[in-house]
Amino acid sequence: MQPDPGKNRLVYFDNAATSWPKPAGMIEAMGDYSGMIGGSPGRSGHRRSLDAGRIIMETREALAELFGCDDSLRIAFTKNATEALNMALQGLLHPGDHVIASGMEHNSVMRPLRFLETQGVQISVVSCSGEGLLNPGDVRAAIGPRTRLLVVAHASNVTGTIQPIAALGQIAREHGFLFCLDAAQTAGVLPIHVAEMAIDLLAFSGHKSLFGPQGTGGLYIREGIERQLRPLTMGGTGSRSEFETQPDFMPDKYESGTPNAIGLAGLGAGVRFVLAEGIDAIRRKEEALTERFLNGLASMNGVTMYGPPDAASRTAAVSFDIAGVSPSEAALELDERFGILCRPGLHCAPAAHRTIGTFPQGTIRFGFGYFNTEEEISIGLEAIRSIAPGA
Amino acid sequence: MMETPPYAVFLFPSVSHVLKAEKILKARGTPHKLIPVPRHIGSDCGVCLRVAAEEQEAAAAALQGKVIWERTVLL
């Protein structure tokens, strides 16, 4: 196929960073909020303020339904998964505590952990296989007398590798430490049930597979954990205003300052879209697109794919490289010649790239999403074939 | 002067709690209204949920286990 710049068509393969396009309802919800609501939620009793609060409450309820959480007030909103993970890690871990992480973690986990290490927190990073898979037996072997927390990315943002989280949650429960799941790559695309999977803390981002806007995310906190989790930020909550001390209840303890209400209006519409389409249908489509792409890549000489070879063991984020072409050169060519938007480099996850052997050069990542088509996968494969010298 | 029917108000820890309670009562069809917390009850800037006094028990039963409240006051 010859590239046709005249069509000016873009193929968006950067959904693992931010999903695009968004459902029509998400854009409408944000427009409606901006045009018709505008009040400060939870800050006064007038109708616009209450309407703003109701919209945020509906977003919380939709997320609680998606994550199998009985009480929507167990979810505190944040600006993204990074902030939620920082809240969990910095709020929970004290000098002398021991924390276990996998060798596939994003810097949203590794950077706070490396900081906490300088404060006296002990860290074990459990190695994963070359495909990025964490063996629960290796996690057991890393447990120590002061293990307080296990933190794991549900799926890698580099290779898409899905971790055996039910087994990991079980290990944490058996040994009496907490399990924090980083669901940045999976919320909205893989089933997550906080009770059934023994998840104590669940960090999610709103702008990826939940189809919200950037600047939205949150942390689910299992009942009782708020008593040991210090908030990162304190301030006005609209509640208990007569006291100068931070409220001790959910979600106010972790939601100081006026929230991103317009963003949460959009996130609510995004989550309702996910609930209406169904996680299974979303997963089936993304898995089929990924499988098509993996099959196409497998037949190309000089192209190396990383992570599990079968689509069922991974999400729709696929890392690969082309012999003789650096990831950044390839990405530029894909953009300029073919209108394909992807992400090259280390994807903020140097640990994961070390695990799969692509540090420091990184890889090219195609992050497929629910709105991509088979035709776009074919365009992607053709483009790679024309860039790869040996294919 | 018109006689005011007796009311009961539920006081919650935050507006998030009030709005969750409102959703539960709305779904159940219990008449209710969100009003600013009366000055003589609390000094907070928030809102509370008002129901007819005769609905107080039924409302409490509907909210029980789903959302916590701090106390109820008869107006």
Domains (range + CATH), chain A: 6-22+279-387 (3.90.1150.10), 24-277 (3.40.640.10)
pLDDT reported for residue B39: 81
Residue pair A309/A288 in contact by the 8 Å Cβ criterion: no
Look at B20 and A252 and tell me if their CB atoms are within 8 Å.
no
Distances (CA, A) of A158 to A116, A244, A365: 24, 44, 7
pLDDT reported for residue A238: 85
Look at B19 and A252 and tell me if their CB atoms are within 8 Å.
no
pLDDT tens profile A163-217: 999 999 999 999 999 999 999 999 999 999 999 999 999 999 999 999 999 999 9
pTM here is 0.94
Backbone angles phi, psi at A84, to 5 degrees: -65, -40
- On the question of pLDDT at B3 being above 80, the answer is no
Residues 6+ apart with CB under 8 A from A99: A89, A93, A113, A116, A121, A122, A123, A124, A147, A148, A149, A150, A151
Contact pairs from chain A to chain B, CB under 8 Å:
66
A42 interaction partners in chain B (CB closer than 8 Å)? 14-16, 46
Going by pLDDT thresholds of 50, 70 and 90, the confidence category of residue B45 is low
Candidates A57, A238, A242; nearest CB to B20: A57
Residue pair A56/A261 in contact by the 8 Å Cβ criterion: yes
pLDDT reported for residue B46: 80
Gap between the terminal Cα atoms of chain A: 14
Structure token pair of residue A231: 């908030």
Crossing angle (nearest 10°) for helices A81-92 and A107-118: 30
pLDDT reported for residue A325: 95
pLDDT reported for residue A296: 97
pLDDT reported for residue A336: 96
pLDDT reported for residue A8: 67
A236 interaction partners in chain B (CB closer than 8 Å)? none
pLDDT reported for residue A135: 98
pLDDT reported for residue B49: 95
At B48, the amino acid letter reads C
Candidates B20, B44, B47; nearest CB to A72: B20
Which portions of chain A are predicted below pLDDT 70?
1-8
User: What mean pLDDT value characterizes chain B?
Assistant: 89
pLDDT reported for residue A278: 98
pLDDT tens profile A218-269: 999 999 999 999 999 999 898 888 889 999 999 999 999 999 999 999 999 9
pLDDT reported for residue A99: 98
Distances (CA, A) of A1 to A188, A305, A336: 34, 23, 16
* H-helix or E-strand spanning residue A338: helix A327-338
- On the question of pLDDT at B44 being above 80, the answer is no
Closest CA to A369 of A181, A209, A257: A209
Look at B45 and A54 and tell me if their CB atoms are within 8 Å.
no
Most A CBs within 10 Å, among B19, B43, B44, to test the A interface: B19
Look at B14 and A43 and tell me if their CB atoms are within 8 Å.
no
Does any CB of chain A come closer than 8 Å to the CB of residue B45?
A: yes
The ipTM estimated for the assembled molecules is 0.85
